[in-house]
Amino acid sequence: MANDVWVYIEHKEGAVTPMSFELLGIGKTLADGFGSNLCAFVVGEGIDAIAKEAGTYGASKVFAVDAGVFKGFRADAYAKATAFLFDKYKPEVALFRATSQGTDIAAAAAAQLGSGICSDAIGLAVDGGKLKMTKAAFGGNYTVTVVNEKSQPQIATVRPKAFAMPEQDASKSAEVVKESFVVDEASLNTKVLEFIKSAVAINLVEADIIVSGGRGLGNAEGFDLLKELAEVIGGGVGASRAAVDSGWITVDQQVGQTGKTVKPKIYIACGISGAIQHLAGMRTSDCIVAINKDPDAPIFKAATFGIVGDYKQVVPKLIEKFKGKLGK
């Protein structure tokens, strides 16, 4: 029988969001496929509450490495704790979210175990006792499926929102296993001096709604209109490379091959032609709306709904209609 399926629960100095637990959904499906158990693991300081909460999302066992040296996230410290757990319990599969934290630990822990990983997986399935991991390549024009027959655990980072959130059930609980593993502060290479919170409130990668602008906006002021629409419908503001390179908006809002990969439920592209590099970052969005003057713009081929027209006329109308219908 296969060993257990493990899911890493990420947090920021003890703070979690429901998204921290999202991989327990697909984790359960895989554990059922292997006929094994779903386990979670947490590294940090004072993480009892997080460990318990993982139980309510379906983990049957939670492994917790709890010590002062793990207070803030540091890749080297967390990866050492992770490699220790993997070595001791030999899970079959270990899943991390493909966030900065998840990628940092997964990459470093895998390297310590001498294995490769599948990163940014968008498909995971158990087939004939093997885990098949699918990822997008070349801007999502291809998908590549890999198996890992050599290393244990088989490690994957998983694109945020690629799989459905598990239901939370307060009546469920997990057995919490505490591990007394520590690393010596002197052996660590890094120290976090401070964290400066972003002025942009919405994290595009987790956003359900994104209003995005491209070269077709014509100037930086175009984004003021997009921000207004985003505010009315509770979304974040994104941009194409052309808009970022024109200096109209900051690079942390760029969506696409050299920016962020997003998967909102609604993506509204204004004045974006739909170059392959932009599509790479948003083509898996649930509903794509394209607003563009050029009826031949490639974005219309990816769109769920399209409006051929000038965003300067269309967007204010959308704002007006939404305000009326939503009672804002």
Partner 1 sequence: MKIVACVKQVPDTEAEVKWDIPGGKLKRDAMDCVTNAFDEYAIEEALLTRENHDGEIVAISMGPEKAMDVLRNCLALTVNEVKLCTDAAFEGSDTFATASVLAAAIKKVGDVDIVYCGKQSTDGNTGVVGAALASILGWSQLTYVSKIRSIDGAGKKIVVERAIEGGTEVVEAKLPAVVSVLKGINEPRLPNLMGIRKASKMEIPQWNAADLGVDTGKVGTAGASTKVVEIAVPPPRGAGEILKGEIEDMANTLTDKLIDLKVIK
Alpha-carbon dihedral 320, 321, 327, 328, rounded to 10 degrees: -30
Among 45, 48, 179, 208, binds partner 1 (CB under 8 A): 208
Integer Cα distance of 202 and 238 in angstroms = 10
Q: Is 110 in the site for partner 1 (CB under 8 A)?
A: yes
Among 1, 170, 180, 193, binds partner 1 (CB under 8 A): 193
- Of 176 and 282, nearer to partner 1 (C-beta) is 282
- Of 182 and 302, nearer to partner 1 (C-beta) is 302
State the DSSP H helix or E strand holding residue 107, giving kind and residue range, or none if neither.
helix 100-113
Integer Cα distance of 26 and 166 in angstroms = 8
- Hunting for tokens 């305000």 — which residue is that? 323
How many Cβ atoms sit within 10 Å of the Cβ of residue 169? Answer: 11
Apex 109 CA angle, 104 and 112, nearest 5: 130
- Of 79 and 176, nearer to partner 1 (C-beta) is 79
Q: Is 232 within 8 Å of 323 (Cβ atoms)? A: yes
Q: CB-based burial of residue 298 (10 Å sphere; 0-12 exposed, 13-18 middle, 19+ buried)?
A: middle
Q: Is 133 in the site for partner 1 (CB under 8 A)?
A: yes
Q: Is 4 within 8 Å of 91 (Cβ atoms)? A: yes
Among 191, 221, 247, 327, binds partner 1 (CB under 8 A): 191
**Single-letter code of the amino acid located at 315:** V
In the sheet with 130-137, reading across from the earlier edge strand, the strands are 130-137, 118-127, 154-158, 93-97, 5-8, 38-44, 61-66, 175-179
Q: Is 196 in the site for partner 1 (CB under 8 A)?
A: yes
Q: 260: which 2 tokens?
A: 């962020």
> Which x/- pattern, by CB under 8 A, does the window 230-269 give for partner 1?
---xx---------------xxx-x--xxx-----xx---
Minimal distance in Å, beta carbon 101 to partner 1?
Answer: 7
Among 49, 111, 164, 220, binds partner 1 (CB under 8 A): 111
Q: Is 115 in the site for partner 1 (CB under 8 A)?
A: yes
State the DSSP H helix or E strand holding residue 75, giving kind and residue range, or none if neither.
helix 75-89
Stretch that binds partner 1, among 25-33, 59-67, 73-81, 212-220 (CB under 8 A): 73-81
State the DSSP H helix or E strand holding residue 40, giving kind and residue range, or none if neither.
strand 38-44
Minimal distance in Å, beta carbon 27 to partner 1?
Answer: 19
Minimal distance in Å, beta carbon 285 to partner 1?
Answer: 10
Q: Is 305 in the site for partner 1 (CB under 8 A)?
A: yes
- Of 60 and 300, nearer to partner 1 (C-beta) is 300
- Of 45 and 206, nearer to partner 1 (C-beta) is 206
Q: Is 81 in the site for partner 1 (CB under 8 A)?
A: no
Stretch that binds partner 1, among 38-46, 72-80, 172-180, 219-227 (CB under 8 A): 72-80
**Single-letter code of the amino acid located at 143:** T
Minimal distance in Å, beta carbon 16 to partner 1?
Answer: 13
4-43 residues near partner 1, rule: CB under 8 A: 12
Q: Is 320 in the site for partner 1 (CB under 8 A)?
A: yes
Count of residues engaged in binding partner 1, rule: CB under 8 A: 98
Q: Is 288 in the site for partner 1 (CB under 8 A)?
A: yes
Contacts of 143 (CB under 8 A, 6+ apart): 122, 123, 134, 135, 136, 137
Minimal distance in Å, beta carbon 258 to partner 1?
Answer: 5
134-163 residues near partner 1, rule: CB under 8 A: 134-151, 157
Q: Is 220 in the site for partner 1 (CB under 8 A)?
A: no
Q: Is 326 within 8 Å of 232 (Cβ atoms)? A: yes
